[in-house]
Structure 1
Amino acid sequence: MRPGLFVGDVAKDLGLDVKRLVSGRARLVIDDSKQYVELNRNKGHLVVKDRIDREQLCGQKSPCSFGLEILLENPLEFFSVTIEIQDINDHAPVFSKKEITLEISESTPIGTVFLLDTAADPDVGLNSLQSYSLKPTDNFVLKQNSRSDGSKYAEMVLQSVLDREKQSEHSLVLTAVDGGDPQRSGTVKVHVTVLDANDNAPIFTDSTYKASVAENSAKGTLITKIRASDADQGYNGNVTYSFTHIGEDAAHLFKIFTDSGDVILTGNLDYETFHQYELNLQARDPWGLTGASKLVIDVVDVNDNSPIITMTSFSGKIQEDSPPGTVVALISVQDLDSDKNDNAPQVLYPVQSGGSVVAEIVPRSADVGYLVTKVVAVDVDSGQNAWLSYKLQKASDRALFEVGLQNGEIRTVRQVTDKDAVKQRLTVVVEDNGQPSRSATVNVNVALADSFPEVLSEFTDFTHDKEYNDNLTFYLILALVAVSFLFVTCLVVIISVKIYRWRQSRLYGKSNLPVIPYYPPRYADSLGTGTLQHVHNYEIYRTNDSTEK
């Protein structure tokens, strides 16, 4: 930003009247020797005084900010103000070399990994280095990796057999691009020389070496020893050691002896600047076969900083009748060795509820870089103890999602396919920057679906739902049995009535007139076997239209 440009309205933000700024002779108190902003009392505005270079001010630290205080007199007051510097994409990724030279044996097996130099981009966030590409890809394919700090580096993987007799040399171009708008990029040539056969590559004794060193250790201090072996005999079994993908800061601090593998300190450490370094190791035989490992060095804090007392303001003369509590001076004390990290990060979103499940829906047509959701967390500590980083701890498919180290954004890293399961579960770890660091975890449910019913069918298999469904099934069956019983009963009654009426019609015939019975004075059993004393005859009288049988 150019000098004179508006930064912020401190009068409005602090709830102060512009007249108070003038009458109180408001001024800025800045610890840094360089003053980047100045105060316009008449408007209550902070404006740019000198050009601000975020990379020069903060390096790779994000967020980048500096603090100042606004001091008022009559009465004496002060207000703390923090100004955050936002990054712009003013740097392109740059490789330290113009050409990478590799010597690879023609007997190297498919799948062998070759480490490539890392590009540097001082910008942060999306403006920093985002990805690599390699062309052509006839014999080699590119593999991208990320370190724990979020920085990315590239590896070249052999995907087809080399034949020295057909082609003894290969030329490729490695390109690094950032995520800014407009996008910036840098390139380096990769020259591969194919060597005759060598059977075995060096193998490190450990996949990860860990060491610690006090921040006040002298130059030349031995930090650790690393070892790799090669099963080949004689000259082919010789191993040399080196660092790869090492940044400029670490390159001035550490050295590895190529023959012995001893790692020593060559610079001055400062725990308050960096408290951990991760270095990539390479063991190489005379024919170009390599093995890879890494070394993690923890810097141990020592009490090497004295408290700094700053007299912000002194009111001068004190009247003899001044009441107790009158402000005489403003003093600030700071000690870089005492930052206590006693609070773990708290996840605000997504909310973790006991019974219900919240799922982020991602359409199957989603492209690479699709924003799934964002994990939001806070840490009530201050300073570097409140700086948060986000990492993907577990995932149903690690090749499908990634988490932004500093912003917590979950994005897709490849195209979603029909083969991907609908239900995806991610576990994200949020860590602060304290020592020791504290962390919190959050589970994120993701549904790869184009319709809501697909989501429901995948996210309803929970215990309380199962119990509810079991009870519901029982009552539905009971109701079905009751209805079926009533139906059968009614059906039997109806059939019985029908049969009764049919038999009646068969007995008396069909008539539109009512049947008029005639009861004679005596009845008798026609067979003479009843209880009557004599045998009698009886007659049946019918109506005129009765049917004769």
Structure 2
Amino acid sequence: MGRHGLIFIMIISLDSVLGQVSYSIPEEMVKGSVVGNIARDLGLDVKRLKSGKARIFTSDSVQYIELSRERGVLFVKDRIDRESLCRQTTPCALHLQIILENPMELFRITVEITDVNDNSPSFKNDQRRFEISESAVTGSKFVLERAVDADIGVNGLKNYTLKPTGNFVLSIQSHSDGIKKVEMVLHKPLDREKEEHISLLLTAVDGGEPQMSGTVKIDVTVLDVNDNAPVFTQSLYKAAIAENSPIGTTLITVSASDADKGTNGEVSYSVSTAIDSETDSFTINENGDVIVVGEVDFEKAKYYRIDIEAQDSGGLSDSSKIIVDVIDVNDNKPVISILSKSDLIREDSPQNTVIAMFSVLDPDSSNNGQVNCRISGKLPFTISTSSNDFYSLVTDSELDRERSSEYNISMTCSDEGVPSLSSSVTLTLQISDVNDNAPVFERSSYEAYIIENNTPGLSIFTVKARDADWNQNARVSYILEDSSVNGVPVSSYVSVSADSGVIHAVRSFDYEQIKDFHFRVKAQDGGSPPLSSNVTVKVLIQDQNDNPPQVLYPVQTGGSLVAEMVPRSADVGYLVTKVVAVDVDSGQNAWLSYKLQKATDRALFEVGLQNGEIRTIRGVTDKDAVKQRLTVIVEDNGQPSRSATVIVNVAVADSFPEVLSEFTDYTQDKEYNDNL
């Protein structure tokens, strides 16, 4: 960096602002010149500059300094002219911020611009004319135009010389504010008859290396008899004006008096050469009214110094100055600049996660430039600040994508002026899903029914669970949990479709063997790790009328002689016997009814419809045959019904020998059996 190398480096730890580095370089450096090794001075690896997408942020309209991520250095990008950048302000500095991402980091860089002697002293006018009365007394003063040198310090304006020095000598007076008052003093009385025109050369030099200078030619015309100069009523005037005051506003009225009479006592006013062009915003008329003719902007100049001159017609003059304080008006909105932001964060992000970093600048002063930022609405975010003008948008409570998957965050920054001015910006933030919700079944338990003798593979019913998460985290699979029913794995009874939750029967069920069973189904999501819940399912087998009644009594022996005896003295309603039958089905499928289907003598016997009791319906006579055969049908109440028949042999006799003599094997009664 040569003789204008690095002056000092200072690193300060601040919350989000991790460090501060200062450099000093001269103005007018060649483009591409290295300012400093920023990676080394900040203690960063060059790889970090690349991975963090390091970039420079500055509020200046022109970016003078560039960052090389590959080399880790700062270099001059554009011509830096200290005079156009800072005018007379010292020190002159560029304020930069280096922004890194992943994680977000902010470094503050200050580059001081030192002055070089690249401007010579100059005068606003290259010629000045005076008309001076020959009666002017020795010691009379004539205000000369001051030179302006845009450079500062040793490179700024140093001295004046006036040549030749016959009649006039140079007088330079320094004021407390550092401004020099240049006057030409009459050293030797004038004599118009000897010399009517005098030519002088005023030279201004600076203190730079090499030294530079500027000149103005002074022409003096000697007049007769004007021996009184104007005199201002005050050597210093003070005034105040609000910025943005309209053109034509009168700032102040000044006055100078001249003791001469006639035209020699007539005074005219003018604004003298100023340090810079900012005082071109003011003019003065013949009445001494100082009037606004240009823009008055507090953000460009907080005060003005106006040098004024009063001159009579004889060329005598006096000078004074006006110090103008500019009153700030709240005419600038806060400017919000987003330095870095995230468009997507996880819903399980911890509190104080940084969403965005931004700066807010308001060039106004005092309360007009004091900024407060807030978030519109009740959102789980807040704004924190780590240093002046720099802010972070962070989370301040837990996020839940299932409650809100997207936020439009409107930030408004307002100053404290009256009335207040504000600016707003809206950021859109997406919340990404985390598998924090287990599937939930629609019911706490399920009951399902299936009719026995079903076809294997039949769909019984469907379980359904929902997951509040998104995408893969909400993709539910159904799993049959291992268990056993009567010692048999439940998987041999039912199966579950993993995608749909449909329960299928694996086998055909028999109500007479199993009437109900239960099992558990697990719903599991596709997250990593997965979350699950389970539910109990009870399956009830419904009966079908698939079993006919079974006769338990009388027992059908298939050939041997079995008969019930009824004495001939039996009365009406005599209980002969009772048909006993059962049905292994259930419900109405097992409700039995008894009917007499066929009988040797239908007029003699009846069968109880509900109880199967066989009774006489009249008295027994001697004419009734000993051998009686009844056929009873037993029917269930199913749809369609099923039945069984039983043959009941009855012997009408008073003694067993009588039965033996009359009774033959019923099984040989071919005519009866054929009819049946």
Same fold (TM over 0.5): yes
How many angstroms apart in 2 are the aligned matches of 1:199 and 1:23? Answer: 80
* Per-residue deviation, residues 187-208 of structure 1 (Å, max 9, x unmatched): 1111111110123222222222
Question: Cα–Cα, structure 1 residues 338 and 297, in superposed 2: closer, same or farther, change >3 Å?
Answer: closer
User: Which residue in the other structure is 1:230 paired with?
Assistant: 258
Task: Choose which of 54, 75, 85 in structure 2 pairs with 1:47.
Answer: 75
User: Which residue in the other structure is 1:63 paired with?
Assistant: 91
User: Which residue in the other structure is 1:119 paired with?
Assistant: 147
State the secondary structure of the residue aligned to 1:235.
Answer: helix
User: Which residue in the other structure is 1:169 paired with?
Assistant: 197
1:252 Cα deviation from its structure 2 partner: 2.2
Residue ranges of structure 2 left out of the alignment (5+ in a row): 1-28, 368-386, 390-676
User: Which residue in the other structure is 2:304 paired with?
Assistant: 277
State the secondary structure of the residue aligned to 1:11.
Answer: helix
How many angstroms apart in 2 are the aligned matches of 1:330 and 1:251? Answer: 40
User: Which residue in the other structure is 1:296 paired with?
Assistant: 323
User: Which residue in the other structure is 1:334 paired with?
Assistant: 361
Task: Choose which of 99, 103, 111 in structure 2 pairs with 1:75.
Answer: 103
Counterpart of 2:194, as a letter, is K
**Does structure 2 conserve the Cα–Cα contact (< 8 Å) formed by 1:173 and 1:188?**
yes
* Per-residue deviation, residues 142-162 of structure 1 (Å, max 9, x unmatched): 122345543434211111211
1:382 Cα deviation from its structure 2 partner: 9.6
Whether 2:143 is the aligned partner of 1:143: answer no
**Does structure 1 conserve the Cα–Cα contact (< 8 Å) formed by 2:93 and 2:110?**
yes
How many angstroms apart in 2 are the aligned matches of 1:156 and 1:78? Answer: 57
Counterpart of 1:211, as a letter, is A
User: Which residue in the other structure is 2:130 paired with?
Assistant: 102
Whether 2:343 is the aligned partner of 1:316: answer yes
Task: Choose which of 253, 256, 265 in structure 1 pairs with 2:292.
Answer: 265
Question: Cα–Cα, structure 1 residues 145 and 319, in superposed 2: closer, same or farther, change >3 Å?
Answer: farther
State the secondary structure of the residue aligned to 2:318.
Answer: strand
Task: Choose which of 217, 232, 256 in structure 1 pairs with 2:284.
Answer: 256
1:102 Cα deviation from its structure 2 partner: 0.9
How many angstroms apart in 1 are the aligned matches of 2:113 and 2:70? Answer: 25
Counterpart of 1:331, as a letter, is F
User: Which residue in the other structure is 1:388 paired with?
Assistant: none
1:220 Cα deviation from its structure 2 partner: 0.2
Identify the structure with the greater helix proportion. Answer: 1
Percent of pairs with identical residues: 53
How many angstroms apart in 2 are the aligned matches of 1:28 and 1:120? Answer: 35
1:60 Cα deviation from its structure 2 partner: 2.3
How many angstroms apart in 1 are the aligned matches of 2:176 and 2:325? Answer: 14
Counterpart of 2:101, as a letter, is E
1:233 Cα deviation from its structure 2 partner: 2.0
1:243 Cα deviation from its structure 2 partner: 1.7
* Per-residue deviation, residues 149-196 of structure 1 (Å, max 9, x unmatched): 434342111112111112112111111111111111111111111110
Deviates more, 1:238-247 or 1:326-335: 238-247
User: Which residue in the other structure is 2:206 paired with?
Assistant: 178
Question: Cα–Cα, structure 1 residues 20 and 120, in superposed 2: closer, same or farther, change >3 Å?
Answer: same
State the secondary structure of the residue aligned to 1:13.
Answer: helix
Counterpart of 2:122, as a letter, is V
State the secondary structure of the residue aligned to 2:88.
Answer: coil
1:287 Cα deviation from its structure 2 partner: 1.2
* Per-residue deviation, residues 240-285 of structure 1 (Å, max 9, x unmatched): 111223345244200101x211110001111122122222222211
**Does structure 1 conserve the Cα–Cα contact (< 8 Å) formed by 2:57 and 2:96?**
yes
**Does structure 2 conserve the Cα–Cα contact (< 8 Å) formed by 1:271 and 1:299?**
yes
User: Which residue in the other structure is 2:448 paired with?
Assistant: none
State the secondary structure of the residue aligned to 1:123.
Answer: coil
State the secondary structure of the residue aligned to 1:141.
Answer: strand
How many angstroms apart in 2 are the aligned matches of 1:192 and 1:137? Answer: 13
**Does structure 1 conserve the Cα–Cα contact (< 8 Å) formed by 2:248 and 2:292?**
yes
**Does structure 2 conserve the Cα–Cα contact (< 8 Å) formed by 1:311 and 1:329?**
yes
State the secondary structure of the residue aligned to 2:47.
Answer: helix
Counterpart of 2:142, as a letter, is F
**Does structure 2 conserve the Cα–Cα contact (< 8 Å) formed by 1:100 and 1:190?**
yes
* Per-residue deviation, residues 394-438 of structure 1 (Å, max 9, x unmatched): xxxxxxxxxxxxxxxxxxxxxxxxxxxxxxxxxxxxxxxxxxxxx
Whether 2:45 is the aligned partner of 1:17: answer yes
- Structure 1's consecutive aligned runs of 4 or more residues displaced over 4 angstroms after TM superposition are none
* Per-residue deviation, residues 446-471 of structure 1 (Å, max 9, x unmatched): xxxxxxxxxxxxxxxxxxxxxxxxxx
**Does structure 1 conserve the Cα–Cα contact (< 8 Å) formed by 2:132 and 2:226?**
no
Counterpart of 1:58, as a letter, is C
* Per-residue deviation, residues 498-546 of structure 1 (Å, max 9, x unmatched): xxxxxxxxxxxxxxxxxxxxxxxxxxxxxxxxxxxxxxxxxxxxxxxxx
How many angstroms apart in 1 are the aligned matches of 2:263 and 2:315? Answer: 13
How many angstroms apart in 1 are the aligned matches of 2:125 and 2:295? Answer: 26
Question: Cα–Cα, structure 1 residues 296 and 33, in superposed 2: closer, same or farther, change >3 Å?
Answer: closer
Counterpart of 2:296, as a letter, is L
**Does structure 2 conserve the Cα–Cα contact (< 8 Å) formed by 1:153 and 1:245?**
no
Counterpart of 1:305, as a letter, is N
**Does structure 2 conserve the Cα–Cα contact (< 8 Å) formed by 1:131 and 1:152?**
no
Whether 2:272 is the aligned partner of 1:244: answer yes
1:75 Cα deviation from its structure 2 partner: 1.1
Counterpart of 1:74, as a letter, is N
Counterpart of 1:66, as a letter, is L
Question: Cα–Cα, structure 1 residues 34 and 275, in superposed 2: closer, same or farther, change >3 Å?
Answer: closer
Counterpart of 1:182, as a letter, is P
How many residues are paired up? 342
**Does structure 2 conserve the Cα–Cα contact (< 8 Å) formed by 1:130 and 1:152?**
no
Whether 2:222 is the aligned partner of 1:194: answer yes
1:46 Cα deviation from its structure 2 partner: 0.3
For residues 350-369 of structure 1, the aligned pairs below 5 Å read none
State the secondary structure of the residue aligned to 2:264.
Answer: helix
How many angstroms apart in 1 are the aligned matches of 2:220 and 2:266? Answer: 21
Question: Cα–Cα, structure 1 residues 37 and 131, in superposed 2: closer, same or farther, change >3 Å?
Answer: same
Identify the structure with the greater strand proportion. Answer: 2
User: Which residue in the other structure is 1:306 paired with?
Assistant: 333
Whether 2:242 is the aligned partner of 1:214: answer yes
State the secondary structure of the residue aligned to 1:212.
Answer: strand
User: Which residue in the other structure is 1:86 paired with?
Assistant: 114
**Does structure 1 conserve the Cα–Cα contact (< 8 Å) formed by 2:46 and 2:71?**
yes
Deviates more, 1:8-17 or 1:182-191: 8-17
